[in-house]
Amino acid sequence: MGFSDALEKAEFYFSMYDMDDDGSLSREEIYKIMSFSHGEVGDRILSVHNALSVIDKDGDGNIDFNELLEAVKREPWLEKMLL
């Protein structure tokens, strides 16, 4: 997959996950994403906290598209989980 294909895919999934269309992914939206791919509630909450700590570089509790792209470049497991 080329860069433009990967970028399009990331943009598509980001817009799908951004349920309130505010341009960022909130803790609640990330929790919903994780609930599709994880089992126990405790595991999902821990996964959300782990994902936020890796992705949310400005510490505002939300993930914008650029933070997501940078995190996926650094952490390949995020791409598999989110995209």
Instruction: Specify the pTM.
Output: 0.68
> In tens digits, what is the pLDDT along the chain, a chain of 83 residues?
565 777 888 899 899 989 999 999 998 888 777 776 655 555 656 666 777 787 888 989 889 999 988 888 887 777 776 66
Structural domain including 39 reads: 3-82
The three-state DSSP-derived secondary structure of the chain is: CCHHHHHHHHHHHHHHHCCCCCCEECHHHHHHHHHHHCCCHHHHHHHHHHHHHHHCCCCCCCEEHHHHHHHHHHCHHHHHHHC
The domain that contains 41 carries what CATH number? Answer: 1.10.238.10
The number of domains in the chain is: 1
